Amino acid sequence: MTGELEPSGDGGELVPPGELRASYADRDRVAELLRIAAGDGRLTAEELDHRLELALTARTYAELTALTRDLPAVAGAPGPPRELVRIDCGSSHAERTGRWVVPRRIEVRVRSGSAKLDFTEAVIIQPSVEIDADVRSGSLTLVTKPGITVDVNDVALRSGRVKDNTQWSPAAPAMLHIQVSGQVGSGSITVRGPRAPRRTFWQWLLRRPRPRAPYSPA
């Protein structure tokens, strides 16, 4: 594997990934990342306008990558998504949280520990991801938000459990579809939303109500 892709059709030279043609969706995702960076104070209004104009007329992945290369929060996000991420968890805990880039495919092996994939702040640069899960006696947790759908119908069960606790509104704009396959032995796969932060000591002492979880139904 050389990292280069061969275009369909007869003959022709190998095309580096950066020279692959970008789609409308690719341009829109980079534009959204630029708006987030401006909201964080990383870009001025003039810089945002200039980069948005370039993003919406970009032809290749390389042109899109150049627009976010100096933005730490999204570095590397506009390029072709990573094809595969492997997570192998024995008796420990493994997780992906914060602004991690969602690949096209994830292989998760959990023997007796736990793994968590939190998609609530993840950088999503393609419409779907496939998760191949092998959960023996541990647990795999997927944390989602409105606009993220999960299909766990292809998971084979032995004595374990698979449960989707989310009830997001179908009216939410579609962001990502997660297709889960594989098997569960005596462990579990759980899909849920983000949990509410715990009350501080002073909030408890003053009997203030618990904070609402993000994306909770009104």
Q: What pLDDT, in 10s, does the model give residues 111-161?
A: 999 999 999 988 787 889 999 999 999 999 999 999 899 999 999 999 999
Residue appearing with tokens 């297709």: 179
| pLDDT over 90 (residue 7) | no
- Res 74 pLDDT > 80: no
Of the ranges 25-34, 166-175, 178-187, which is most confident? 178-187
Residue pair 81/102 in contact (Cβ under 8 Å)? The answer is: yes
Selection from 138, 149, 140, 203 nearest residue 211 by Cα: 203
Q: Which residues contact 169 (CB under 8 A, 6 or more apart)?
A: 146, 217
Predicted confidence (pLDDT) per residue in 196-205, tens digit:
666 666 666 6
- Mean predicted confidence (pLDDT) in 71-87: 64
Backbone angles phi, psi at 149, to 5 degrees: -110, 150
What single-letter amino acid sits at 55?
Answer: A
CA 96 – CA 98 distance, rounded (Å): 7
Percentage of the chain modeled with pLDDT above 90: 37
Which residues face 101 on adjacent strands?
Answer: 123
DSSP 8-state secondary structure symbol assigned to residue 101: B
Q: Where are the domains of the chain?
A: 17-74, 84-192
Q: Residue 152: what are its φ and ψ, rounded to 5°?
A: -110, 15
Instruction: Encode pLDDT of 29-62 as tens digits.
Output: 888 888 877 777 788 888 988 999 999 999 988 8
